[in-house]
Amino acid sequence: MTFKAPVESYKGKVAEVTIGKGKRAVTIGGENVLALNQAFDEGAFPHPPKIALEVWDMEPQNWAPWVLEPYKDVAADPAAWAKRCEELGADLVYFYLISADPNEKDTPPEQAAELVKQVYEAISIPMIVYTTGNENKDPAVLAKVAEALSGENLLLGPVIKENFEPIANAAKEHGHCVVSQAPVDINLQKELNVKLSRILSGDRIVLDPLASALGYGIEYCFSVMERTKHVGIQFQDAMMQMPVIANFGGEVWKNKEPKEREELGIAWEEVTAINYLLAGANIMVMRHPEVFKIVKGMIT
C-alpha cells in the first residue's frame, strides 16, 4: 500500500498588502496556506516573505562591533545607511525614529519627518517607518511623516490601542499603511484590529504581535503568530487576516550572548529568523547583513 499524504485546504486567505508605489512597490500576504506549506497543501503562497534591514535616525551606541561594522562608515548618515541596505539587497528599509523618543533626543516631529523624506529620496525601495511606541509622542511624529510623504504608501507604525486613531487617520488621509501592535496577546490584537478596521481596510494593515529573540520568550511570540495565522486562514476570521511583521533584529542583538561572539550572534539571529518564517511572518526586520544573505537565500 502506498502512503498518501493528507492534503489540507482552507477557506481563509491573508490580505494582500502593498507597500510603496510604482516601481518601488512590494506586496506581501495573499496566502491561503500555512507558512511554507504550499508544497504539501492545496493553495498558494503568492508572495514569499520579504526582509527589511534596519536603519536608525541616530548613530547607535550599544551595537555589537560586528553588527555595526558593515554600516560603520554610514552609521551617522541615515540616507547613506539606507542606500547601503539597498545595495545589500534588502526588500525594504526599516527606518527607526528612535531619536524622536522623549527619552532619547526628543527630536521634533517636523525634523523627524524631514529626515524620513531625505532617506526616502536616497533609495528606490519601499520604506517602513517605526517610532518607539511612545503613546503620546508617536502620533505627532507619524502624522508629520505621513504628511511629508503623502501618497508614497509607507508602512507606519506601531499603532497601539492608546493611539491608533490619530495615526490611522493620518495614514488614511495621506495614503499609507499602518502596523497594528498588541503585546503578545491574540485577543487584544483582534480588538485593536476591529477598531482599526473602522478607519482603514484590511489591505492597509500589517500586524506586529511582537517578536522576541531565541531564548528570550520566543515560544510565546511563535505561538501567538502561529495562532494568528490559524485563526485567519483556517477559521476565516477576517479581523486576523492581515499579514504579519516580525521585528526581531534588535531583540536578538541587545542580548549578552550575541554581543560576546560574532558567530554566536549570527547563528542567534538566523535561528530566530527561521522560527518566525515557520510561524508565518510576511516581513522580517533584520540587522546583520550576513544573516540577511543566508535567510534571503532560504526564501528564494
Residue window 17-36: x/- pattern of binding to another protein, with contact defined by CB under 8 A: --------------------
- Regarding 237 and contact with another protein (CB under 8 A), the answer is yes
Stretch that binds another protein, among 60-68, 114-122, 187-195, 216-224 (CB under 8 A): 187-195
Q: Taking contact as CB under 8 A, which single stretch among the options 16-24, 71-79, 184-192, 218-226 is the one that binds another protein?
A: 184-192
Q: Which of 68, 79, 186, 299 forms a contact with another protein (CB under 8 A)?
A: 186
> 235 has which bridge partners?
none
Cβ proximity to another protein: between 26 and 238 the closer is 238
* SS3 state at 181: strand
- Beta-carbon contacts of 213 under 8 Å, excluding residues fewer than 6 positions away, are 248, 251, 252, 254, 255, 268, 272
CB 203 within 8 A of CB 187: no
Residues 204-233 that bind another protein (CB under 8 A): 231
Find the binder of another protein among 188, 271, 274, 299 (CB under 8 A).
Answer: 188
Contact with another protein (CB under 8 A): which of 90, 239, 266, 273?
A: 239
- Alpha-carbon gap, residue 215 to 272, rounded angstroms: 9
**How far apart, in Å, are the Cα atoms of 11 and each of 39, 44, 114, 229?**
17, 12, 44, 12
- How far the first Cα of the chain sits from its last, in Å, is 36
The rounded Cα 181 to chain-centroid distance in angstroms is 11
Minimum separation from the CB atom of position 197 to another protein (A): 9
Residues 284, 285, 290, 296, CA torsion sign? positive
Instruction: Sketch the per residue contact string, 240 through 269, with another protein: x for CB under 8 A, - otherwise.
Output: x-----------------------------
Q: Which cell is 230 given?
A: 490559524
Using the rule CB under 8 A, which residue among 8, 21, 110, 235 binds another protein? 235
**# binding residues, another protein (CB under 8 A):** 13
| Window of 8-16, 17-25, 170-178, 191-199 that interacts with another protein by CB under 8 A | 191-199
175 φ, ψ (degrees, to nearest 5) = 70, 55
Give the type of residue at 129: V
Q: Which is nearer to another protein, 147 or 191 (CB)?
A: 191
- Which residues lie near another protein (CB under 8 A)? 186-191, 194-195, 231, 235, 237, 239-240
